Structure 1
Amino acid sequence: MAASFFLLVSSIFGWVYTICWSLSFYPQPILNFRRRSTTGTTVDFPAINVVGFLAYFISNTAFLYSPQIRNQYAERHHGLTPTVQINDLAFAAHALLTCLITISQFVPGLWGFDRKGRTGPGARLSTGIKGIIVGSFLGVGIVAIIVAARHDPDPKTGWAVIDMIYAVSYVKLIITLVKYMPQVLTNYHNKSTHGWSIYQILLDFVGGILSIWQLGIDSYLQGDWSGVTGNPVKLALGNISVFFDIIFIIQHYCVYRGNRGTAFSEDEERPLLNGEANGEASGERSNGNS
């Protein structure tokens, strides 16, 4: 009875986190579209996300549907099956699609956004992000060569195809570790979160918490915590996302709270502060009386 209850809770948590994380990809492109601008946000984030979620989609597909990978996983984890769920695959596929849409907003002329958004800070891929993307492909390629050259008939102790899938999944892990930093630094340099949607962060935060809980429940139901260590990407994805979400929440609601509505680009209408508005009004009255 208890097992059925926890199984239901795991399923609910899984699909709720999938919905929250999936919805979190919409506020930013919608905000960009409404502002007709990508100023205040960086191309690094959606670009590296494309690579990360492509890797996540490939690894989840392998763990869910490849008999060879599932058998090798069982041999290494006491006969258990991977804790990857169908909602994990659905999330990865949706995330990849929405990230492609978001990065397309940085393509000159495609959406008709303002020119500053295509030439300002964050409009071009940073050298560091380029290096991570290239390094990710090289890393997977090296592991694939090693697996092909030293393939061992016993996947429990030697190199096996599952190691190549783990290498692909680690690409997502590495990218999750670094992908938020360019935007954190952009907010810091701008002293504002203007142009960066907080709603995506709030949804991401809820999704991260529920993702961790689902992984824990699934491992509890299996009676073996190797379900957590056997799915390090999902564990790290939830924890790292929550960590950076807290940073963004602090930036938005605490550190730069008074600056959220004052940041502007050269192509946007500059908002008037109360003091400026009052000063202009006083000046007009003064000119009228002179």
Structure 2
Amino acid sequence: MSVGPGRLYLALGLAGLAVLVLPAVWWAVQRPSDDREWQPNMAVLPWAEFTDSLVRVHNVRNTEYRSVTDYTPRYDDRVYDLRDLDAVWFVVEPFAEWHGVAHTFLTFGFGDRQFVSISVEARKERGEEYNALKGLFRRYELMYVVADERDAIGLRVGVRGNDVFLYPMRAPVKRIRDVFVSMLERANALREAPRFYNTLTENCTNTLAEHVNALVPGRIPFSYRLFLPGYSDELAYDLGLIDTDLPFEEARRRFRIDPRGAADRDAEDFSLRIRELGG
């Protein structure tokens, strides 16, 4: 039996509609969750309590790494006094041959006594690897990792063997404190209501810009470099956010962490060592 042109066009139209609608339906029904079999060093969410100038952060990560895959997760609770918070660094870790790919995060200094990193990451399940394409399609939840620098930086320099750049930021002390509090408040919110990570719209870098712009609207304007974190240090430099008078390429060499400074990840003065030795 022959099929008339009208029915054929209708069938093709319905098939085309299904191609458009089904992915949208799939997207809409996806829900973020905390109830998954997480990678061990991403299984515990941090959260914070605020009492006047004191901040008690629960589940600060300080994992003992023997290799990238062999490690013992460790967590503890730490108290920080906002009155002592006076410095912040922008950390960039390129991890691919293409220059545009990198991970970024902030690390905060409380005088020379305490340092703590806050890293916005795709929360991975056990055995799962990060994939930028998957990150576009609600395959990862969003996580704020709060970690000792011996974990956050020591892992990247000493264990993975990647180049890591530690840029001192130029910002008023009050703004530094406000960003720190804002990021911990977001960590608290994610503990109550999980959200999806997105490679383009909610990644490690543009989320940091969101925190800054919430306090100072327009301080970090729209730029393609927010979507390509490997170029984000150039953006920060062009905006006058990096505390240096050096030309950019020279600053990049100066603020590259020397692996010798990160060699002893258990050293009590680890954070001071990585700042004393330039690239």
Please give the range of the TM-score, normalised by the shorter of the 2 chains.
under 0.3
Higher relative contact order (CA 8 A, sep 6+): 1
For normalisation by structure 2, the TM-score amounts to: 0.26
Q: Whose strand proportion is higher, 1 or 2?
A: 2
